[in-house]
Chain A
Amino acid sequence: AQSVTQLDSHVSVSEGTPVLLRCNYSSSYSPSLFWYVQHPNKGLQLLLKYTSAATLVKGINGFEAEFKKSETSFHLTKPSAHMSDAAEYFCVVSERGNRDDKIIFGKGTRLHILP
């Protein structure tokens, strides 16, 4: 069975400092992994996705994530936070099983940017 755990419900960083949002997953098959961002009163937007190609995935707005199979992790990072990065971030795992597809969202991490 697949699952996804976002280890922090809230993360606060100062503007200009690095961002790390943690995500661990479990999957019976080779998963696809995604990070989505949700700004207040806006729709979910894809930041990046991993689908068994390069393990280091670069996304929009300077974000990137590294797929580590041995650690079952897919942490999201950014070298330098901007005020506009304040939002809710969701880690998503998707796997194609024998009979159906499953997609599961994490509970989200709210990122706060301190001036």
Chain B
Amino acid sequence: NAGVTQTPKFQVLKTGQSMTLQCAQDMNHEYMSWYRQDPGMGLRLIHYSVGAGITDQGEVPNGYNVSRSTTEDFPLRLLSAAPSQTSVYFCASSSIITTGESGGYTFGSGTRLTVV
């Protein structure tokens, strides 16, 4: 089924470890974004990309890196995990036109990350 695929679904890291959260979409969407959601909170934008080779920072970028070498993939890297990065991470994609009949963003099912 077409959509946004995130892996892994669950991950436990030790403080200081690094890892990459994977995100792939098969809808040929130009825009891709990473959000984090803490308990009882709304989603906060980490990084986003408007196309291959182009990325920019969102609201809470510190401690995270991204790259966009292809249209399909938008991995999120945690450089040195900290307990404050314990959260649920969502990847989202959309076409360049997100208005009208486009249907807005399509979100993945999330990665639940715990840093101990």
**Bound pair: A and B?**
no
Name B's A-contacting residues (CB within 8 A): none
Using a CB–CB cutoff of 8 Å, the interface residues on chain A facing chain B are none
